[in-house]
Amino acid sequence: MPKNGADIRPEAFLYSNAQPDTVHKQRFEAFLEKKYHKDYQLVWVYDEAIVSGFKLKVGTEIYDWTREGRVTQLKEAIHDKIRTDAKTDEQDLITLYRTSLDSWRMEALPEEEGTVMTVGDGIVFADGLESVVYGEIVVFESGLKGMVQDLRPDSVGIILFGDEESIMEGSRVLRTKKTAGIPVGEGFLGRVVDALGNPVDNRGPIKAADYFPIEASAPEIIDRQAVDTPMNTGILSIDSMFPIGRGQRELIIGDRQTGKTAIAIDTILNQKNNDVICIYVAIGQKASSVAQLVESLRKKGAMDYTIIVNASASESAPLQYIAPYSGTALGEYFMHKGRDVLMVYDDLSKHAIAYRAMSLLLERSPGREAYPGDVFYLHSRLLERSARLSDAIGGGSITALPIVETQAGDVSAYIPTNIISITDGQIFLESDLFFSGQRPAVNVGLSVSRVGGAAQTKAMKKATGSIRLDLAQYREMEVFTQFSNDLDESTKKRLVYGQGLMHLLRQDQGKPYALHEQVILLVSGTAHVMQDVPIANMTAFRQGLLAYFHDVALDLCQKIDKTGIMEDAEKTRIVEIANRYLELSKSKK
């Protein structure tokens, strides 16, 4: 027997504005015993704020049967029904609301409640959420949502998806038992959204077709197929030497202001009429830069098939952290429908910095360069979601172009080496080449595509020939000849040929080449047609050559674009026409 007759049964608290009678008290106690298999002592607490109904608190769980609680549960039930049915028509929504109201019944669903201990810098520490899981969404009493990112014996760390001003010490926080997700659908095409899928382009709400989790498992190996279909960038230096295939992950890496974003944008522009959905994720960029990019894409008709996910520099670290995962969830919606998607992450250096800031605020142990120990997993679980699915499950694909910024060309730094080891190749942009006028400033020696010729058309393979080897020899010879003025005729010719190839690969931003244009330029260049063209005249000669082909050999141009094949006789024809144009250009002078 307990001393002094004290009752040592666990206590459950009933909050209401009227004391329950004996019958109601027995019902509550019976419910508690059936639910928790324990004999609880029911303690009534007067609460004048409760006008109708009651709240029952058992440990950290709360059964909210107040008027407000019932309305909230009804809203959630209707919201879940809308997500499931993916209704978009207004009349369907009205019918759905009426049906839900008629069929809905209040359930005894426990809500686990916690209390905010500290809040600051977009991070909240709370206690009381004993059963919460990593990655779960929680809701504060102000309506602001957050995601659990740190689990401790006595508290949980929560990152906030919004302004923390509405949260203070002692505020209530409730579990939702749901993971973070984002609305998806065709309605997002042509729109600019934030990391939570909310439109930020002042063009009204977006009708969603479904709701996808932002964190999802990568496709299994058995569900993938080989990368063998080209994802043409329209950039001659890349498509010829470092081809990108649908489902590949090709890193774009280089110092600040070397044209990394320009390559990604040109690739997006080149997907016009190719039935490829493009998603550009801006992480930590200036709002003005993103606005200029959107306007540029809109002017060129590329926003029709593009979605911009913007987590600008003014956004909190948690929103910058989830942005690439949200963008990938949007891409997975289209991929699972059998579509091809191009994902651009600009850039993952800022993403890693945002994650580092978030982790340090969550008091995680810092490692190399103060990054947390799981920073490799941060990007591997993101980039592994890019794949080409097998035909059995639709054959869709996500091709990833992650961008990483280096400092003074150091590709051996922590984040660059991590991402290089995850991706299927890298395009390295060199500052010296950029400032010498070589744009795009692709370093042939350090760039590589691990897919190689498997992602090239037969015409491009045949046209490329030994251009990469020729350029490598030229770069080596150029360095060597800096120390000698006495060069033989053969060496001089090789230098002139190499200089011509380098100028051939120069390309204006926003003007991607069609396949037949790339083939014509490569065949003409490797056949030494431009050997004697002065460097100063190379750009004009190139433009004139392509225009001449459109006039005299349009059938050949259309055939290469349509089939991706170039026969030996057609290659010979290209050289003949190029030489003919060379003679015409000389005679005009």
Q: Give the active site residues.
A: 450
Q: Label residues 132-154 b or e (16+ Cβ within 10 Å = b).
A: beeebbbbbebebbbbbbbeeee
- Rounded to 5 degrees, φ, ψ at 351 are -65, -45
Bond from prior residue into 347 cis (ω within 30 degrees of 0): yes
Asked if 189 contacts 306 with a C-beta cutoff of 8 angstroms, the reply is: yes
Residue 138 CB-half CA count within 13 A = 37
Phi/psi-derived region of residue 447, left when phi > 0, alpha when psi is between -120 and 50, beta in every other case: beta
Identify the DSSP state of 291.
H
What 3-state class would DSSP assign to 187? helix
Q: Count the Cβ atoms, other than its own, within 10 Å of residue 416.
A: 22
What 3-state class would DSSP assign to 240? helix
Q: Count the Cβ atoms, other than its own, within 10 Å of residue 326.
A: 27
Distances (CA, A) of 133 to 2, 130, 182, 329, 575: 38, 9, 19, 21, 66
Crossing angle (nearest 10°) for helices 515-526 and 554-563: 110
What 3-state class would DSSP assign to 343? strand
Instruction: Using the structure block, give the residue that is written with the tokens 């989790």.
Output: 213
Strands 172-179 and 156-160: unpaired
Q: DSSP string of 536-575?
A: GGHHHHHHHHHHHHHHH-HHHHHHHHHH----HHHHHHHH
Identify the DSSP state of 416.
H
Q: How far is the C-alpha of 362 from the C-alpha of 234, rounded, in Å?
A: 44
Q: DSSP string of 477-533?
A: HHHHGGG-S---HHHHHHHHHHHHHHHHT---TT-PPPHHHHHHHHHHHHTTTTTTS
Nearest to 264 by CA among 354, 197, 347: 347
Q: How far is the C-alpha of 528 from the C-alpha of 12, rounded, in Å?
A: 89
Asked if 127 contacts 115 with a C-beta cutoff of 8 angstroms, the reply is: yes
What 3-state class would DSSP assign to 389? strand
Bridge partners (DSSP) listed for residue 114: 173
Instruction: Return the HEC string of 69-109.
Output: HHHHHHHHHHHHHHHHHCCCCHHHHHHHHHHHHHHCCCCCC
